[in-house]
Chain A
């Protein structure tokens, strides 16, 4: 794992691009530690190709690709999995601006701020196969950060990125 964070740091330096850490590691940055098997990161659409090239050169190969996601596995250590999610450049810029630091493995990485992380989770939770996992993460994030997201703001996030059913699951915070 340490080597992945080291690699992501070097890719950003060498290729003059930004990556944000999301997934389980971003939850840890916001005070909720749960197990995770991989490292997930977020890239601007414009940087997606450069990031993929750099990962390929570092020994990763892409084994799954969707419109907004590329999944990489290391050729030598198949347990080393790295997912790269992409968003449009304007969204990335706004998220980067509001991001918070995560000091890990000797490097300072950036993770989305709490509101943006919850927005990402609401977006993901709309998909039935992910609902339980992501709504659980949101509940833990809100419990770990009481008073950080006001009920009115959470309402807005649910309206914009979630569904009424997801909002109902968060009723104790609304």
Chain B
């Protein structure tokens, strides 16, 4: 019996991005405790590497106009 031919890799195909056939997986979810640890870890890294001050100064300014439902 003749073995099935092994497909030859095509450089053109290899350069193509995979085509999504759906909306994709939902974003990963963290438990609240995991999220708290994630934020505290990030804060500690920023504190250690000295980027905290710069990042805090880059925060978006809040909106001046008051929000109202009515």
Contact = CB atoms under 8 A, between A and B. Distances in A.
A90 B68 CA distance: 9
B38 A124 contact: no
A95 B60 contact: no
Is chain A's binding surface mostly helix, strand, loop or mixed?
A: mixed
A72 B20 CA distance: 45
B12 to A, nearest CB: 31
A16 interface: no
Interface string A82-116: 01011110110011000000111100000000001
Place the interface of chain A in its size category: 35 or more
A17 interface: no
Contacts of A71: 62
B26 interface: yes
Interface of B: 26-30, 32, 35-36, 38-40, 42-43, 46-47, 52-53, 55-56, 59-70
Contact of B63 (A35, A124, A143): A124
A78 B54 CA distance: 12
Interface in A1-59: 1-2, 24, 28-29, 31-33, 35-38
A87 B66 contact: yes
A66 B63 CA distance: 9
A75 interface: no
B57 to A, nearest CB: 10
